[in-house]
Amino acid sequence: MPATSVSEKSVDEEFYSSTPEGYKTGKTKYIIVIGSVMSGVGKGTFSSSLGMLLGCYGFNVAPMKFDGYLNYDAGTLNPYRHGEVFVLDDGTECDLDLGTYERCLNKSLTKANYLTAGKIFKSVIDKERSGQYMGRDVQFIPHVTGEIKVLLRTLAMKSDADIVLVEVGGTVGDLENSYFIEAMRELRHEEGDSNFCAINITYILQPQSLGESKSKPAQLGTRKLMELGIRPDVVVCRSENQINTSIKEKISLFSDVDVDKIYNLWDTRNIYEIPLMLKDMGMDKAVFDVLKMAPKTSGEESLSKWKEFTDKAKVADKEVVIGIVGKYTNVHDSYLSILKALEHAAPYSGARARIKWIESTDLEDKKLAVEDALKDVDGMIIPGGFGKRGVEGKIAAIRYAREKKLPFLGLCLGMQLAVVEFSRDVCNLEGANSTEFDSSTKHPVIDFIPEQVELVKQSKYGGTMRLGTYTAVLQSGTLASRLYGGTSASERHRHRYEVNAEYINMLEKNGLVFSGRSPDGKLMEFMELKEHPFFIATQAHPELKSRPLNPAPLFRGLVEASMQHAQAR
């Protein structure tokens, strides 16, 4: 099946074929989620919650996130600007909302579920350069919009989806979204009203100085959406507090949407309850009504498992304090998957994880003493990251955790720095370091993965790391094998550096245990210390595969060890 189909009628007619070979109109329904007023109000959380709810009724839901930036993917984006980079099994570096989809839908996604303007334009230009447009002048309509529709329909076919759920990043009125919204207008016309549902997520302002809700921005945002040719079928009003009926009536007047299809989602402390809230509101029935479809199953079994998890979170009454030592601590979305993994793991131990943010640069610059920063925490995480800033502060924190028997979990860079700290302070390798931070170090205990050397010489960065899911072979009898319940672990990676093989024997002789290795034995995947209640690190990012109904083993282990540490204090 070709990814796209360029029709010969593109030569003599204005049309462009946006239908892949074998595609059947009506087999797949499309739900489009578009925001107005402002971004950052929870479109991703809503979309994933709705997808999860529809999945409970037996439907195969395939999500897609569109981001309007010209980057090909999220791999080179700064965490300060865009939050964490989420990595899929196939190595795709993408928006953090893909992580939200995976956690709610409890399924692994692929590059087909993620779309950027950069990907669209590259595909169009590649076709133009290879002559596939047969001499036509290439235009936004029909070629760019046609490419978008091809990608959506290809996703529908490859995933055998009953429903493709598309989240449009940003807001209505953003220039970079205009052609995508136009493609959605065309899609509705081609697929038919009964196969298309447009949901507008708007925001109701509640200025403290006024003490009341103001719907005018929401009215204007909805009107702008309609000017672009998208008539919403459902409107979701996000707000800080619950709104009254008169606000819904005003929105109804401006949107041609009946009041009974205008919903209010106000801020809640537990976002995992949102799928249940949507069901209680009747959102599922509204979507079924628009799409002229009926549930395949009652959904009770799947929803009951989800409710069991939310109930565990409600009754958890033991608090553990987890210190996260990083350099992006002012932007919590930079560590979103770590926070979620802790949220998933803690309820299974009857606990709540309270985060203490520790800025590693403050430790490095001696603005904050390590002892003061960590004296009141029950466990510690060193997350992944890039660049030299704050590294020595993280190494100081690792030394404290090792010497004071504080439960420790190192992720990616966290493992590399744990090896550096052990090399310096246990093996007495003065100046030991990673070549990422000191290219002339006498003891490069962490160095490039061999295949990365040539790429770095060529200054190639985007999509060139060790990316995606890899399997590690775990040593029997180790903490890693006990936590994973076997002798293998499959986790996602995103890094360029590894433990230098020349130092492995020395490190092991001094007591460091490499409890997990690549199947060929060449790459060190897990490390731990025997004479410590819980000191483990991995080159991988296990937080990326954590799910509410299936928490990451390393995070469950950290929470349990932290609870024991708290009791012993």
User: Which of 306, 341, 362 marks a domain boundary?
Assistant: 306
Class of residue 110 by CB neighbours under 10 A (exposed 0-12, middle 13-18, buried 19+):
middle
Same domain, 475 and 456: yes
Provide the domain count of the chain. 2
What pLDDT is attached to residue 8?
46
- Answer whether residue 471 shows pLDDT above 80: yes
pLDDT band at 456 (very low <50, low <70, confident <90, very high): low
Same domain, 302 and 341: no
Domain contains 311: no
Domain contains 99: yes
Same domain, 204 and 336: no
Percent of the chain with pLDDT over 70: 95
How high does pLDDT run on average in the chain?
A: 92
What pLDDT is attached to residue 11?
59
Residue 294 to residue 148: CA distance in whole angstroms:
28
What pLDDT is attached to residue 5?
47
Eight-class DSSP state of 547? B
Q: In what order do the strands lie in the sheet with 466-474?
A: 351-359, 318-326, 379-382, 408-411, 535-538, 524-529, 512-517, 466-474, 488-495
Same domain, 258 and 322: no
Same domain, 282 and 414: no
* CATH classification of the domain holding 476: 3.40.50.880
Of 156 and 5, more confident: 156
What pLDDT is attached to residue 206?
85
pLDDT digits (tens, 9 = 90+) for 205-259: 988 787 788 889 889 999 999 999 999 999 999 999 999 999 999 999 989 999 9
What pLDDT is attached to residue 274?
95
Same domain, 235 and 324: no
Same domain, 374 and 288: no
Distance of CA 184 to the CA centre of its chain: 24
Alpha helix (H) ranges present in 299-390?
Answer: 300-315, 336-345, 360-364, 370-374
pLDDT digits (tens, 9 = 90+) for 355-396: 999 999 999 999 999 999 999 999 999 999 888 999 999 999
pLDDT digits (tens, 9 = 90+) for 329-364: 888 889 999 999 999 999 999 999 999 999 999 999
Same domain, 460 and 489: yes
- Answer whether residue 460 shows pLDDT above 70: no
Domain contains 62: yes
Domain contains 196: yes
Domain contains 554: yes
* CATH classification of the domain holding 265: 3.40.50.300
Alpha helix (H) ranges present in 408-495?
Answer: 413-425, 452-457, 479-484
How much is the pTM? 0.92
- Tokens in use for 371? 């002892």
Residue 473 to residue 544: CA distance in whole angstroms:
19
What pLDDT is attached to residue 162?
97
What pLDDT is attached to residue 194?
97
User: Which of 306, 326, 353 marks a domain boundary?
Assistant: 306
SS (H, E, C) 45-62: HHHHHHHHHHHHCCCCEE
Average pLDDT over residues 17-38: 91
Contact indicator for 492, 465 with CB cutoff of 8 Å: no
Same domain, 436 and 526: yes
pLDDT digits (tens, 9 = 90+) for 83-124: 899 999 999 999 999 999 999 999 999 999 999 999 999 999
- Tokens in use for 402? 């090792």
Q: Which residues are catalytic?
A: 412, 541, 543
Same domain, 302 and 347: no
pLDDT digits (tens, 9 = 90+) for 508-556: 999 999 999 999 999 999 999 999 999 999 999 999 999 999 999 999 9
- Answer whether residue 2 shows pLDDT above 60: no
Domain contains 4: no
- Answer whether residue 3 shows pLDDT above 60: no
Domain contains 296: yes
Nearest to 171 by CA among 135, 220, 244: 220
Residue 423 to residue 313: CA distance in whole angstroms:
40
What pLDDT is attached to residue 7?
46
pLDDT band at 322 (very low <50, low <70, confident <90, very high): very high
Half-sphere exposure of residue 410, counting CA atoms within 13 Å on the CB side?
28
What pLDDT is attached to residue 461?
55
CA angle 543, 547, 549 (to 5 degrees): 145
Same domain, 236 and 347: no
Residue 223 to residue 257: CA distance in whole angstroms:
12
Domain of residue 279, residue span: 9-306
pLDDT band at 1 (very low <50, low <70, confident <90, very high): very low
Give the count of beta carbons closer than 10 Å to the beta carbon of residue 234: 23
**Terminal-residue alpha carbon distance, the chain:** 62
Same domain, 255 and 282: yes
Q: What are phi and psi of 96, to 5 degrees?
A: -65, -20
User: Which of 306, 340, 357 marks a domain boundary?
Assistant: 306
pLDDT digits (tens, 9 = 90+) for 258-283: 999 999 999 988 899 999 999 999 99
Domain contains 2: no
pLDDT digits (tens, 9 = 90+) for 155-197: 999 999 999 999 999 889 889 999 999 999 999 999 999 999 9
